[in-house]
Amino acid sequence: MVKTHKSLELGSAIELDISVLEQHISAKSKVVHKLPNTELIYGLQFIHTDASERKMKQLVKALSLLGFQSRSLVPHWDESLKEWIVTLLKTGKGLTPEIPNLKTPGKSE
């Protein structure tokens, strides 16, 4: 997420300049998300050149070596698989989809 000082349109292309650990990266980006109920906070998708992608990967690796953790919202597939297997073996749930109970409390059929 990026916070700006001016409004951006979804789908618009912007040039993003980042300076971290004395490294400068310039990458084209596309505005793909606006955080609901907020002003001027957006999600961006990078449109990398080979050079900007290489620099970004080096920066991520350097931050990792310094002890910073990735802020991935989606767990890596192998972690998700392990969690599913453990749940399946412990509870028997997860092999078939569960249908949510759609009954309204207090109403009878």
Res 89: pLDDT: 93
Distance between CA 41 and CA 69 in Å, rounded? 22
Structure confidence by residue, pLDDT tens digits, 13-24? 999 888 888 888
Average per-residue pLDDT in the chain? 84
Question: Tell me: the pLDDT tens digits for 23-41?
Answer: 888 889 999 988 887 778 8
Please give the pLDDT value at position 50. 92
Structure tokens given for 27: 């990458």
Which H or E run contains 45? strand 41-47
| Total-model pTM | 0.53
Higher pLDDT, 79 or 73: 79
